A and B are shown apart, each in its own frame.
Chain A
Amino acid sequence: MTLPTATAGVQALDIEKVRADFPALHQESHGHPLVYLDNAATTQKPRAVIDAVRTFYERDCSNVHRGVHLLSQRATVAFEQSRTAIKNHIGANDSREIVFTRSTTEGINLVAASFVRPRLEAGDEILISTMEHHSNIVPWQLLCEEKGAELKVIPINDKGEIILEEYEKLLSARTRIVGVVHVSNALGTINPVRQMIELAHSRGVPILLDGAQALPHLQVDVQELDCDFFVCSAHKAYGPTGIGALYGKREHLLEMVPYQGGGDMILSVSFDGTTYNEPPHRFEAGTPNIEGAIGFAEALRYLDEIGLESVAAHEADLLATATEAVTEVPGVRLVGSARDKASVLSFVIDGIHPHDIGTILDSEGIAVRAGHHCAQPVMARYGVSATVRASFGLYNTHQEIAALVAGLKQVKEVFA
């Protein structure tokens, strides 16, 4: 699950060919060529994904699971094939283990509401880590408040790595679920999830992985990992916004109560009572984001075609180069320097606020994120309110890193 340190045997990316696949990259921003380094927020979309979404609207647009007519049948087949594509990509056993959601956030809320809520009692515990995104904090906080349960937090070390001994100690007889981020959006840390899953299971505790940032960087295999739940979204992995997926072990999904009520999640309805549909449809009330699902599958197909090993090798190379170049700028301090890291570079510069850095970089056509990255507790852990984050995707280049460094030098000049 880690980024390869050696690139031997891995097909190198043809970066020009890859960049040609992404229409949005070829534009100017404030009179400069766009340098898009905000991939952890969302990625640009390849032509194949845009075409897949367009084709749905131009040819197959219809509702799913209910029409007898040809277009509805085509839409249903395309939608369900997308589910299978996601199942295959993340190594699930059964397509019925894949639930379409709006987002990673919705996936976590769904597990909180339908799996954890019915089994949570006062005094029980939910265990998360310091480096969670707000989406893997707040749903649990709400639930704990409702039930009188307690939210426990796994500490991290100064490098931004989970302290496994502390994690082990925090796993108690009252722990009902562990929710942990696979790859941190704020720090880039790739967590030792395999070990964490084993430790949780050795105490009979189920575990949810927030895979939002893992999907574009790592080859995920949910069966090999043996996680109970894996949540992700398409838009971080070159797919459309507004669509995500929840993987849940079939045995869990079968015993879970519905999330929302409505059409498609029922088998029959009368005023005396309703029979719920089987998973995954039980959790998919209402007309789904059909074109999103189709675009999602196309994005994964695109990633598979390039090869995640090649992507990982390219991104590891970019990260190493950028880390060296950026830390050479005087006053730069990295936030997050885990040994095992995805291509996310979070940093601060002494005496200059990240928002000012973001504005000046933007004036040079460089798009980065400046802020707390929806992870305020981990910002607090480092004693900062915000950082600048440059996050790299499969289409970024060494020239773009040079542009970033030149931009940072301009920042220093303005604030000299």
Chain B
Amino acid sequence: MSDMRDLYQEVILDHNKKPRNCYAMDCATRTADGHNPLCGDIVKVYLRIEAGIIKEISFQGHGCAICTASTSLMTESVKGKSVAKAKELFEVFHEMLTGVAEEQGVELGKLQVFEGVREYPVRVKCATLAWHTLNAAMDGDDESVTTE
């Protein structure tokens, strides 16, 4: 049970209940769709990129608490950052979840709350679906992203 508190931290439960930046964006310059076929999680990421900077980001979709909270926190953490910086953040976030040596001096900040997910290999996809989708949107890749 205490393990469950490590996984479902307060910040995650809060973002699951009240996801931030959860709306369809009319003026998006880029969008991408992500899908986890195993559990049916679906996320659509909207971006407004100006001069290489993510000026606005939002999402819509449905998924488990890990997926929803991860998407919500992702939008908060990349907003106002450059595309290059967002990609770097994804790399470090991914490394934290998959257990590969982490450092590079990039601060994950609130995203650190997902550290517990690494103990649950089947749930890593839940935490990374939004990031893969963001990546596709930044790359201008129209193909739907799946975690399979």
- Contacts A370-B39, A414-B8 given: A356-B3 contact, CB under 8 Å? no
Which residues of B lie under 8 Å from residue A364 when comparing CB positions?
1
- Quick one: closest A residue to B7, CB to CB? A359
- The verdict on A372 contacting chain B, using a C-beta distance below 8 Å, is yes
Contact of A363 among B4, B62, B67 (CB under 8 A): B4
- Please tell me if the beta carbons of B120 and A371 are within 8 angstroms of each other in the complex: no
- The verdict on A241 contacting chain B, using a C-beta distance below 8 Å, is no
Type the 1/0 row for B101-128, where 1 means its CB is closer than 8 Å to any CB of A.
0000000000000000000100100100
- Please tell me if the beta carbons of B40 and A386 are within 8 angstroms of each other in the complex: yes
The total of chain B residues at the interface (CB under 8 A) is 22
Type the 1/0 row for B1-28, where 1 means its CB is closer than 8 Å to any CB of A.
1011101100001000000000000000
Which residues of A lie under 8 Å from residue B67 when comparing CB positions?
353
- The verdict on A385 contacting chain B, using a C-beta distance below 8 Å, is yes
Contact of A385 among B3, B13, B40 (CB under 8 A): B40
CA distance A366 to B64 in the complex (A): 19
CA distance A354 to B13 in the complex (A): 15
Which residues of B lie under 8 Å from residue A414 when comparing CB positions?
4-5, 8, 13
CA distance A157 to B66 in the complex (A): 33
CA distance A414 to B39 in the complex (A): 21
- Please tell me if the beta carbons of A356 and B39 are within 8 angstroms of each other in the complex: no
Which residues of A lie under 8 Å from residue B126 when comparing CB positions?
355
- Contacts A371-B39, A385-B40, A386-B40 given: A356-B8 contact, CB under 8 Å? yes
- Please tell me if the beta carbons of B8 and A355 are within 8 angstroms of each other in the complex: no
Least CB distance from B7 to A in Å reads: 7
CA distance A410 to B1 in the complex (A): 8
Contact of B64 among A30, A356, A376 (CB under 8 A): A356
CA distance A352 to B68 in the complex (A): 11
- The verdict on B63 contacting chain A, using a C-beta distance below 8 Å, is yes
- The verdict on A415 contacting chain B, using a C-beta distance below 8 Å, is yes
Binding site for A on B (CB under 8 A): 1, 3-5, 7-8, 13, 38-42, 62-68, 120, 123, 126
Return the 8 tightest CB-CB contacts between A and B, nearest first. Answer: A353-B64, A385-B40, A355-B64, A356-B65, A355-B39, A356-B64, A414-B8, A386-B40
Pick 16 A–B contacts, CB within 8 A, sort by A: A353-B63, A353-B68, A355-B64, A355-B123, A356-B65, A359-B4, A360-B4, A363-B1, A363-B3, A370-B39, A372-B39, A385-B41, A385-B42, A386-B40, A414-B13, A415-B8
Binding site for B on A (CB under 8 A): 30, 352-356, 359-360, 363-364, 370-372, 376, 379, 385-386, 410, 414-415
